């Protein structure tokens, strides 16, 4: 039960952060309206995870309160909350690593989405093996200069 709260936290922070990459990819593809729509759908995944996460975290607090009242086993609520913060950090770090790749790939996905007309058709379109032969071209590692330029006040280019 505790692991699900961490998994949901990672999903929430990763999808929230990658929705910005999707918007930037749409801007680069000159289809910002479609990108905002798809980013909104991606954020629905995050919000749904948030709805599932709330009762799990609330259950941890209730369990700790009940343990204190009963004078029984010491439930370390502070440790659990630190774990949730660690999961949020892990989710954000995953998004930082994937950000440049998602920007480049989402520009192509949005163009393909406009061509196919629907998400299920896009998924079928992308499941063809020949479409994945150039995926290495779109993969990009984040560079240290992007992060350090934020401290100087400049907007990094992906």
pLDDT per residue as tens digits for the range 6-16: 888 888 888 88
- pLDDT of amino acid 155: 58
pLDDT digits (tens, 9 = 90+) for 37-46: 888 888 887 7
Q: What is the pLDDT averaged over residues 141-157? A: 65
pLDDT digits (tens, 9 = 90+) for 43-65: 887 788 778 778 878 888 888 88
Q: Distance between CA atoms of 158 and 104, rounded to whole angstroms? A: 9
Write down the pTM of the prediction.
0.69
Question: What is Dmax (Cα atoms) for the chain?
Answer: 63
- pLDDT of amino acid 100: 85
């Amino acid at each position: 039960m505790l692991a699900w709260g961490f998994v949901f936290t990672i999903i929430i922070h990763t999808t929230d952060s990658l929705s910005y990459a999707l918007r930037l990819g749409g801007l680069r593809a000159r289809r910002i309206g479609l990108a905002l729509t798809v980013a909104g759908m991606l954020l629905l995944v995050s919000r749904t995870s948030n709805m599932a996460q709330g009762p799990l975290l609330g259950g941890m607090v209730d369990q700790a309160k009940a343990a204190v009242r009963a004078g029984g086993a010491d439930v370390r609520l502070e440790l659990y909350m630190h774990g949730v913060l660690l999961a949020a950090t892990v989710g954000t770090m995953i998004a930082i690593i994937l950000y440049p790749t998602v920007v480049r790939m989402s520009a192509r996905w949005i163009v393909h989405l406009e061509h196919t007309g629907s998400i299920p058709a896009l998924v079928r379109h992308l499941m063809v093996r020949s479409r994945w032969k150039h995926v290495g071209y779109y993969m990009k590692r984040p560079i240290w200069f992007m992060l350090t330029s934020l401290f100087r006040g400049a907007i990094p280019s992906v």
